[in-house]
């Protein structure tokens, strides 16, 4: 869908939490949305369906936590499986993006704002990490158009 305005929803996959962000290709901006609880990587699919109905994304983006050398990890395999399940359940195109260091970058961003690591438990960084990986994806889209 090159040159078309698309709304995207991104996921920073984790076994206990999944960060969610939204953005769109028109402005190229991404915003953190929410953190979904997960049990061993499985979200509340009904809650996820409500978010998708509310935001009506045209594409879903899932971050792949690859190893620093670019090879797949156990977690990236699980994230890829999550991406396939999203596609199967919601019949939307799903793209993946290399998310190496997105959580680190999100924590650094909050640290720069004066937040301490102890506050991450009360206010997790996962949705911010999702926004950062979505920003990467959006930037790659603007280069394609």
* The two structure tokens encoding residue 29: 């901006």
Q: What ranges do the domains of the chain cover?
A: 7-139
Q: Which of 60, 68, 82 is nearest to 13 (CA)?
A: 82
Q: Give the Cα separation of 29 and 24 in Å (integer).
A: 6
pLDDT, one tens digit per residue, over 85-98 is 999 999 999 999 98
- Each residue of 13-46: pLDDT tens digit? 999 999 999 999 999 999 999 999 999 999 999 9
The answer, yes or no, to whether residue 127 has pLDDT greater than 90, is: no
CATH superfamily of 7-139: YqgF/RNase H-like domain (3.30.420.140)
Q: Is residue 36 within 8 Å of 42, Cβ to Cβ?
A: no
Per-position b or e across 111-126, b if 16+ CB within 10 A of its CB: eeeeeeeeebeeebbb
Give the pair of three-digit tokens for residue 68. Answer: 């620093």
Please state the rounded mean pLDDT for residues 79-87: 97
Say yes or no to pLDDT of 56 above 50.
yes
- For the chain, the average pLDDT equals 84
Closest CA to 12 of 140, 145, 127, 90: 127
pLDDT at 60: 98
């Amino acid at each position: 869908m090159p040159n078309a305005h698309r709304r995207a929803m991104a996921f920073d996959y984790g076994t206990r939490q999944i960060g969610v962000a939204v953005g769109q290709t028109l402005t190229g901006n991404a915003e953190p949305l929410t953190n979904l609880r997960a049990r061993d990587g499985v979200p509340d699919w009904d809650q996820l369906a409500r978010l998708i109905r509310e935001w009506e994304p045209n594409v879903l983006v899932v971050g792949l936590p690859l190893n620093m050398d670019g090879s797949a990890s156990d977690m990236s395999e699980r994230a890829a499986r999550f991406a396939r399940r999203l596609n199967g359940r919601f019949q939307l195109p799903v793209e993946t993006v290399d998310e190496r260091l997105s959580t680190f970058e999100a924590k650094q961003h909050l640290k720069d704002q004066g937040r301490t690591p102890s506050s991450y438990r009360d206010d997790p960084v996962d949705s911010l990490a999702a926004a950062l990986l979505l920003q990467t994806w959006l930037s790659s889209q603007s280069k394609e158009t």
